[in-house]
Amino acid sequence: MTSQLRESFGRRLADSTRARGPLCVGIDPHPSLLLAWDLDESPRSLERFAMTAVEALAGEVALIKPQSAFFEVYGSAGIAVLEKVIRESRQAGALVLLDVKRGDIGSTMTAYSMAYLDEHSPLASDAITVSPYLGYGSLAPAIGLAEQTGRGVFVLSRTSNPEGAGLQQSIHGSGDSVAQYVVDSAAETNRDAEPMGHVGVVAGATIRPGELDFSRLNGPILAPGLGAQGATVQTLREVFGPALPNVLPTTSRDVLRHGPDPASLRAAAHRVRDEVDDLFRG
């Protein structure tokens, strides 16, 4: 069922961020945001929210990141909206990073991979988030299919939620933290890729400066935590240091709260994007 895309995810991501900047904006139809937009919790309101965000943002930023859970909660009607978000965001020129955080073993992980990374799936996205906590090797089906189809995966390493610290900072058998082990495993997968590999990591913009060594990663770093979780654009250089050129700062609520007016959403995204661009050029 798979088909080969012409360029690697690393190349497509580099081209997209060069043209539009590195900002990633999430589409998270959280009930509180629906309420703030004077919408109810119905499939029709979900579609209005999500497609307004797509209209306003998908032509402006490098990556759109729909959070799958907020669509799944509506059942088949929500999945239909998610399919539309993916399709129309890509048509507008954005890369779609579907935030699903899937992680399993064997045939189950293969099935998840086919659902999100196979060209013929209605949920096919440019990249997905995955969880390595059944072992980094369990991600082989997703990593392999993503490479074959010109897509990417972002592996959870050091997440921005405080509950993750105890596990992710614990010591792995390698002698490094679990989070560092994930980064180093991704680096091994990406070795010799140009301009960078198709395996990224997720590392929150709220982590301690110098906590992780990204020097060998040769891949993108998805950095959630801007805005509502306390990180600022100004702290990105301090947290990521020399790895900053590969960072994809991520925000959702701080942009989405400016809806439902598309122009206001677009203006909010432009403000954050311009701040990020100034930092990266500085």
Task: Express each pLDDT in 204-242 by its tens digit.
Answer: 999 999 999 999 999 999 999 887 677 888 889 999 999
Rounded mean pLDDT, 270-280: 93
Rounded mean pLDDT, 245-267: 96
Estimate to the nearest angstrom the gap between the alpha carbon of 91 and the chain centroid. Answer: 18
Number of independent structural domains in the chain: 1
Q: How high is the mean pLDDT of the chain?
A: 95
Helix, coil or strand: residue 152 = strand
Residue 3: inside a domain: no
Domain membership of residue 163 as a residue range: 9-281
pLDDT for residue 50 is more than 70 = yes
Catalytic residues: 101
Backbone phi, psi, residue 229, to 5°: -95, 0
Residue 212: inside a domain: yes
Contacts by 104-107 with C-beta closer than 8 Å and gap 24+?
104/134, 104/138, 105/134, 105/135, 105/138, 106/138
Rounded mean pLDDT, 103-117: 97
Query: Terminal CA-to-CA distance of the chain, rounded, Å?
Result: 45
Q: How confident is the model at residue 281 (pLDDT cuts 50, 70, 90)?
A: confident
Predicted TM-score of the model (pTM): 0.96
Q: How confident is the model at residue 138 (pLDDT cuts 50, 70, 90)?
A: very high
Residue 4: inside a domain: no
pLDDT for residue 282 is more than 80 = no
The pLDDT of residue 1 is 52
What share of the chain has pLDDT > 90, as a percent?
A: 91
The pLDDT of residue 4 is 52
Residue 114: inside a domain: yes
CATH of the domain at 35: 3.20.20.70
Residue 204: inside a domain: yes
The pLDDT of residue 251 is 94
The pLDDT of residue 99 is 98
Residue 77: inside a domain: yes
Residue 152: inside a domain: yes
Residue 41: inside a domain: yes
